[in-house]
């Protein structure tokens, strides 16, 4: 979702409705348009499905390019590009691009083509390669280890915050007065508190996003996503693509494929879903994927309302199928709720004993306002006891402020380029930058309606600008870029037993440095991997 120097958030417009695909991974990305979404055996679906890495060979006669040596990768604490694209022979770039396209086609590093009418309606028709970088992005190994180390701590933090209903309601009390969407989420949460609804089995599939600030050399968190964390499937494949290209062109590019970290996010997500299904304890029940209505699949939130029912024992039944686990690929944005029907469906699912990923309390725990509240002094101590864990989280907190802190607001008006203004929204394209920050703050002050509670201010992060080769529609482009690292986490608790709590792979996104926007689907960013230096 995004922030810092610019929002690199992926458009969350994932699959559209409900149900489960056995034919392809639902984690491939929001742009993946599988249309074979039907209820099926959870056991069958969750079997490992990624094929083994295969090597692509091309005749050596095509490789008539000079060898490109990696640059000095680290000077002090400043990381440089591992390969300068301007030093790469154009012929080698074309060969890399060609083989990358072949690899993407063979291994399913593909997304639906919006220009094709049959995309999403006929399996395998209307597909194009995902936007990718041709070579991995250098990243300090020390910061990589730091991001992986705090992932389980953030998982535990989300779980504990989710159980503190008073904290969630109080922290978001001003926001709900001026933000109808947050208000409706809090209304559902409040109803669950009134009936003392307890989520005995709690599943979280999270992604914490970071940028490496060039001036301070600190790894700073942009946001923590607790709903619809995108691209674990395609992200894994990009890591494999880069290892394959480096191995194939090892005589021309002096890089070590083993310096690209193993990325098993899709299988770790699947494992967490499988174990949640198993903890539910009904082998006849299914996993249900809730996806967005504008895609061309089977069921939407509205159809869950029409076809769903709640039995007296709390079992959620949709279209005759008992549901063990609900995985939300939709429901994070106001545009997902076209009418009261969608809200009724969300309430119905929340009232059930099905495992929700996320539950309404997990959803609220990932909001921007809660992120800002947790950054206040002495708040983490409300949820965590281990002082070392608290220190590790605080080390990666960027500056975060509410708009009722007048000194900070005045400073942001005077120096708007140092801040990002964030509304309580997911999905990218919502943040405010530069002179627009000043204009928005002055407007809110003039109105005096309390609408400032719908926003927070965040320190703007300035990552290092690198050189990359980005490829869209089969055409490679040499660009000046910045990158954002997302670390996935999976968490599963059944009552007092923690079944899973782990770092679960990563997502690297790279975009042109001149753009504030960063969505892959929107055409700004591409999928990338990291090269440890």
Active site residue ranges: 207, 223, 225, 230, 368, 422, 426-427, 509
Q: Each residue of 13-45: b (16+ CB within 10 Å) or e?
A: bbbbbbbbbbebbbbbbbbbbbbebebbebeeb
Question: What is the rounded CA–CA span in Å between residue 236 and residue 513?
Answer: 24
User: Is-contact 104 129, C-beta < 8 A?
Assistant: yes
Instruction: Report the alpha-carbon distance of residue 428 to residue 425 in Å, rounded.
Output: 8
284 is known to lie in a ligand binding site: no
Q: Say if residue 489 carries a ligand binding annotation.
A: no
Three-state SS for 429?
A: coil
Alpha carbon distances (Å) from 236 to 200, 261, 328: 31, 10, 21
Give DSSP secondary structure letters for 8-76.
-PPP-----SSS-BSSS-TTS-TT-----B----HHHHTS--PPPP------GGG-----BPPPP-EET
Give 214: exposed, middle or buried? Use CB within 10 Å, 0-12, 13-18, 19+: middle
Beta strand extents in 198-277 (DSSP E only): 201-212, 219-225
Name the residue among 333, 359, 520 with its Cα closest to residue 425.
333
459 annotated to bind ligand: yes
Task: Give the separation between CA 27 and CA 321, rounded to whole angstroms.
Answer: 22
Q: Is 366 annotated as a binding residue?
A: no
268 is in an annotated binding site: yes
431 labelled binding-site residue:
yes
Between CA 168 and CA 370 the distance in angstroms is: 7
207 is in an annotated binding site: yes
Considering all CA atoms of the chain, what is the largest pairwise distance in Å, rounded to the nearest integer? Answer: 73
- Residue identified by tokens 């559902």 is 188
d(CA 427, CA 233): 18
Q: How far is Cα 324 from Cα 306, in angstroms, rounded to an integer?
A: 19
Does 461 count as an annotated binding residue?
yes
368 is in an annotated binding site: yes
Q: Does 493 count as an annotated binding residue?
A: no
517 assigned to a ligand binding site:
yes
Q: Is 199 annotated as a binding residue?
A: no
Tracing tokens 């802190």 back to the chain, one arrives at 405
430 marked as part of a ligand binding site? yes
CB atoms inside a 10 Å sphere around CB 178 = 16
| Whole-number Å distance between alpha carbons of 351 and 192 | 7
Q: Is 163 annotated as a binding residue?
A: no
180 labelled ligand-binding = no
425 is known to lie in a ligand binding site:
yes
> Which string of b and e fits 116-125 if b means at least 16 CB within 10 Å?
eeebbeeeee
Which residues is 248 bridged to in the sheet? none
Beta bridge partners of 318: 308, 321
Q: Which of 524, 16, 518, 503 is nearest to 232 (CA)?
A: 503
Q: What is the DSSP string of 293-323?
A: TTSSSS--HHHHHHHEEE-TTS-EEETTEEE
Q: How far is 427 from 113, CA to CA, in rounded Å?
A: 20
Annotation-wise, does 267 bind a ligand?
A: no
Residue 32 tokens read as: 């993946």
Consult the annotation and say whether 52 binds a ligand: no
Q: 30, 312 in Cβ contact below 8 A?
A: no
Pairing between β-strand 497-512 and β-strand 530-532 as defined by DSSP bridges: unpaired
**Annotated binding residues for ATP, as ranges?**
223, 368, 422-431, 433, 458-461, 484, 511, 517
**Annotated binding residues, as ranges?**
207, 223, 225, 268, 368, 422-431, 433, 458-461, 484, 509, 511, 517
**Annotated binding residues for substrate, as ranges?**
207, 268, 509
**Annotated binding residues for Mg(2+), as ranges?**
223, 225, 426
């Amino acid at each position: 979702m995004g922030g810092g120097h610019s929002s690199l958030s992926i458009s969350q417009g994932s699959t559209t409705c409900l149900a489960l695909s056995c034919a392809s991974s639902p984690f491939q990305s929001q742009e993946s348009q599988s249309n074979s979404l039907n209820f099926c055996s959870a056991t069958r679906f969750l079997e490992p499905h990624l094929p083994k890495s295969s090597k692509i060979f091309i005749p050596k006669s095509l490789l008539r390019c000079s060898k490109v040596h990696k640059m000095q990768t680290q000077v002090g604490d400043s990381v440089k590009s591992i390969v300068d694209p301007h030093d790469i022979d154009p012929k080698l770039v074309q060969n890399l691009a060609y083989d990358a396209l072949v690899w993407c086609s063979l291994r399913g590093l593909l997304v639906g083509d919006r220009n094709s009418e049959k995309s999403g309606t006929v399996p395998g028709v209307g597909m194009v390669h995902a936007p990718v970088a041709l070579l991995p992005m250098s990243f300090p190994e020390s910061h990589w280890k730091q991001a992986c180390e705090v992932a389980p701590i953030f998982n535990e933090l989300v779980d504990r915050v989710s159980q503190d209903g008073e904290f969630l309601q109080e922290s978001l009390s001003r926001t709900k007065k001026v933000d109808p969407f947050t208000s409706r989420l809090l209304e559902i949460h409040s109803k669950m508190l009134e009936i003392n609804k307890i989520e005995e089995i709690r599943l979280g599939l999270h992604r914490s996003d970071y940028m490496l600030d060039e001036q301070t050399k600190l790894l700073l968190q942009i946001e923590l996503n607790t709903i619809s964390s995108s691209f674990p499937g395609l992200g894994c494949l990009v890591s494999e693509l880069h290892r394959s290209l480096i191995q194939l062109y090892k005589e021309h590019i002096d890089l070590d494929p083993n310096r690209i970290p193993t990325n098993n996010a899709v299988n770790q997500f699947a494992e967490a879903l499988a174990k949640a299904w198993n903890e539910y304890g009904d082998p006849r029940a299914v996993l249900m994927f809730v996806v967005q209505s504008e895609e061309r699949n089977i069921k939407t939130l509205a159809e869950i309302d029409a076809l769903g029912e709640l039995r007296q024992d709390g079992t959620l039944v949709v279209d005759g199928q008992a549901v063990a686990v609900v995985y939300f690929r939709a429901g994070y944005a106001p545009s997902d709720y076209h009418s009261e029907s969608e809200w009724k469906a969300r309430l119905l699912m929340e009232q059930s004993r099905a495992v929700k990923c996320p539950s309404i309390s997990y959803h609220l725990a990932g909001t921007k306002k809660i992120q800002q509240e947790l950054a206040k002094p002495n708040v983490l101590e409300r949820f965590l006891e281990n002082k070392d864990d608290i220190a590790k989280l605080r080390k990666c907190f960027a500056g975060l402020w509410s708009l009722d802190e007048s000194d900070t607001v005045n400073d942001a008006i005077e120096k708007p380029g140092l801040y990002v203004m964030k509304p309580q929204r997911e999905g990218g394209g919502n943040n405010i930058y530069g002179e627009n920050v000043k204009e928005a703050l002055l407007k809110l002050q003039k109105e005096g309606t309390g609408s400032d509670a719908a926003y927070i201010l965040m320190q703007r992060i300035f990552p290092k600008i690198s050189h990359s080769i980005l490829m869209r529609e089969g055409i490679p482009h040499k660009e000046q870029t910045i990158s954002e690292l997302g670390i996935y986490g999976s968490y599963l608790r059944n009552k007092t037993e923690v079944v899973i709590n782990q770092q679960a792979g990563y997502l690297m996104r790279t975009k042109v440095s001149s753009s504030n926007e960063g969505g892959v689907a929107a055409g700004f960013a591409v999928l990338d991997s990291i090269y440890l230096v």
